[in-house]
Amino acid sequence: MRDRSSFLGRAGYRRNALIVAALLFVALVTFLLDTQGVLSPVRAYLTNKLTPLVSAVNGVNGQVADFFAGSHDLQRVTKERDMLRKENSDLKAQILRIPQYEIENIRFREQLRIEKTNPWQLIGADVSVKTLADGRRIALIGVGSNNGIKIGMAVIARYQSSPPSLIGVVSVVNSDSANVTLIDDYSSAISVQAYHGTELVRGILHGNILANGVLQMSEIEREAEIATGDNVVTAGLTRLYGPSLPNAAIPSGIPVGIVKTAYIDGRSKAVDVQPYINPELVNYVWIINNDTK
């Protein structure tokens, strides 16, 4: 076995030596031929044939590189597009909110002015629904017991150049909403007083839906002096007028309207009162947060 392995090793060595010698011979012959210029036509031929192939390979490499570069750019452009779309959407939302912010700012400044000139604490609310049928004049507002609203609280508003005026009284309270019985509702009864010079003339203001928004102030003393143009305000005595409004404690001095005409009504006197504000035109109100116990 040892002799056979030695023989195979020597045979492999001789084969490798022959291959190396052959390669050296070929290299030497090629060098000699090249120095004599014999291989120049062959080199030119191979160059002409291989150059397009090399160019094609380089082109493919360039296209592959461009593809990956383009794919990266596409991802970047797509990301930037999505970011721009989001920014555009956010800007549109902000633009849409600007008018609402302006409205809220105006209402807040108006509330501060009212509170500054009157002994009232106000809670603002949007008017969402009005019931104006079958003799009822009811408004639904967007605040309720969660906001401190109670039955009997006075509700005021402003419209154009009018003073802050009474438009109704809270009559039903839910957790996040409340019903307001407007002053032109047939069930409305509020104690009021008219200023006639230095005299105060008291009476009860009733809703009158059949007189185009004109209200009636009745139960005025027959001898009382009252005339067209006298200002009518709340008297702060509503809680004294029977069980129909047991919780109503409307503060005194809230503007209501102006006397239009005065006339005799049985044993007493009555007047027609034009409210400063038509309650049916109001979309935003303030609730006077006074004690209603």
User: pLDDT per residue over 69-124, tens digit each?
Assistant: 666 677 777 877 778 777 777 766 666 666 666 777 788 888 889 889 988 899 99
Tell me which of 50-54, 82-86, 218-222 is least confident.
Answer: 50-54
Are 183 and 205 a contacting pair, CB within 8 Å?
Answer: yes
Q: What is the pLDDT of residue 292?
A: 44
> Six-digit token pair at 157?
């508003």
Nearest to 125 by CA among 144, 153, 103, 102: 144
Strand partners, 201: 194
**Where in the sequence is the domain holding 214, given as residue range(s)?**
122-288
- If one compares 219 and 32, the residue with the highest pLDDT of the two is 219
Residue 172 belongs to a domain? yes
> Cβ contacts of residue 137 below 8 Å, gap of 6+?
130, 131, 168, 181, 182, 183, 184, 185, 186, 188, 207, 209, 279, 280
CB atoms within 10 A of CB 274: 17
> Six-digit token pair at 74?
């596409």
Are 165 and 118 a contacting pair, CB within 8 Å?
Answer: no
Residue 61, pLDDT > 80, answer no
Question: How many separate domains does the chain show?
Answer: 1
> Cα–Cα distances in Å, from 128 out to 76, 154, 171, 284?
48, 18, 16, 9
Residue 193 belongs to a domain? yes
Residue 27 belongs to a domain? no
Tell me which of 1-10, 60-69, 137-146 is least confident.
Answer: 1-10
Q: What is the pLDDT of residues 152-161, one digit of tens each?
A: 899 999 888 7
Residue 18 belongs to a domain? no
Q: What is the pLDDT of residue 267?
A: 85
| Gap between the Cα atoms of 177 and 128, Å rounded | 10
Cα-trace Rg, the chain: 49
Alpha helices, H only, the chain: 2-35, 40-117
Residue 62 belongs to a domain? no
pLDDT band at 174 (very low <50, low <70, confident <90, very high): very high
> Six-digit token pair at 189?
């009864």
Q: ∠ CA 132-134-137 to the nearest 5 degrees?
A: 35
The CATH number of whichever domain residue 258 belongs to comes to 2.40.10.350
| Gap between the Cα atoms of 111 and 88, Å rounded | 35
Residue 181, pLDDT > 70, answer yes
How many residues in the chain?
293
Are 203 and 215 a contacting pair, CB within 8 Å?
Answer: no
pTM of this structure: 0.64
Are 169 and 180 a contacting pair, CB within 8 Å?
Answer: yes
In one letter, which amino acid is 287?
I
Residue 238 belongs to a domain? yes
| Gap between the Cα atoms of 123 and 90, Å rounded | 31
Residue 228, pLDDT > 50, answer yes
Buried/exposed code over 6-22 (b: 16+ C-beta within 10 A; e: otherwise): eeeeeeeeeeeeeeeee
Strand partners, 169: 154, 181
Bridge-based pairing of strands 284-288 and 122-131 is: antiparallel
pLDDT band at 172 (very low <50, low <70, confident <90, very high): very high
Q: What is the pLDDT of residue 197?
A: 87
Mean pLDDT (the chain, rounded): 78
Residue 35 belongs to a domain? no
How far does Cα 83 stand from its chain's mean position? 22
Residue 189 belongs to a domain? yes
